[in-house]
Every structure is written in C-alpha cells, then in structure tokens.
Amino acid sequence: GYEYVNYTTKDGLLDNDVYGFFQCLSGTLWCLSVRGVNKFDGTGFINAFPEGALSKGMTLCMAQDRDSVLWFGTDHGLYRFDGKELAVFTDKDGIYSNIIYSLTFDNEGNLWIGHHRGIAKFDLSLYKSSDRISFINYGTEEGLVGAECNQNAITKDHLGNVWFGTIKGAIV
C-alpha cells in the first residue's frame, strides 16, 4: 500500500489545525492554519511570517493575482503581500466583514471575496492605478438570501462566472 507522511508542529507547522493549502505560480506550497502561514521547503514547514499580522489569528484562504501578488483571507481582514510589504484591508476600508472565507479572481482581474456577511468585489485595476480602495459589497441588504459564505467554496467557471457556496445554497 501507499505510505503516508503525517506532518505536525514537530515538522514546523504553526498548528496542527490546517485550513488549506495553496501552490503559487513559483511552485511554493503554502499551508494555512489557525496560527498563521507556513511554507513547505521540501522536507518540513517554515513560518512564512514570523512577525506581524499574519503571525496571529486564523488564515482561512489564499489566492494569487496576475502580478504574482499573494492575497490572504483571515479572521481579521484581507492581506496583500507583494513579496516585500504586507498591506491589510478591513471593514474600515469598506468591506462588510473582516472574516474572509474565500478568494478568487474574475477574467477582468477583480478580486472576489466570500466573507462572513456576504460577497465583495475589490477593483484591483483602480487600486493599482491610483491606490484607491473600492469594495462593492453584496449582502442581505442587496438581496442575498444566504449571505454568509463557506470557507474555500468559490470557483470561476469556464464562462468566467464566479460561484460562491453559502450557508443557504450557491450564488452565481
């Protein structure tokens, strides 16, 4: 039979409660957990962000944009990492919730976010050209029945539609 390897905190994981994995375009495997973010080095895990906001709290999801910028959804906001600097976006910036469950990009390069109180679209072209932060929010106020999204329940189909899994069904 197949021989399995069980990685734990003894191998460098920040926590044994793992929420997800993401492999970026460079091939790096990222591990998202209750206590932050690890990178797999081929034999074990190293702490990707030993200090700062991503070293605390739950990291729930991850995505990478066309410019290879990494995006992290946490229980305390949306984070952008360009390889050097970490920026955070929270409800103070206009998103309905700081609990981010899912991330994906549409064909135009907008970041779609599934969160605790609904869905948000972050206009990245506007942000990149002017540093202006613009979230368009969709929640119960906008007519969503099951506004709370489920963790990593998001995909873009072959037509470019973004699908979200919520606590009360699927939204497209």
Question: pLDDT per residue over 50-101, tens digit each?
Answer: 988 888 889 999 999 999 999 999 999 999 999 999 999 999 999 999 999 9
Question: What's the mean pLDDT in 23-36?
Answer: 95
The residues that bridge with 103 in the sheet, in sequence order, are 113
pLDDT at 76: 95
pLDDT at 9: 95
Evaluate if residue 7 carries a pLDDT over 90: yes
| Confidence class for position 147, pLDDT limits 50, 70, 90 | confident
Q: Is 112 exposed, middle or buried (0-12, 13-18, 19+ CB in 10 A)?
A: buried
- C-alpha 47/C-alpha 37 separation (Å) is 6
The residues that bridge with 89 in the sheet, in sequence order, are 78
Evaluate if residue 146 carries a pLDDT over 90: no
For the chain, give the mean pLDDT.
94
pLDDT at 143: 83
| Confidence class for position 159, pLDDT limits 50, 70, 90 | very high
**127, containing H or E segment:** helix 124-130
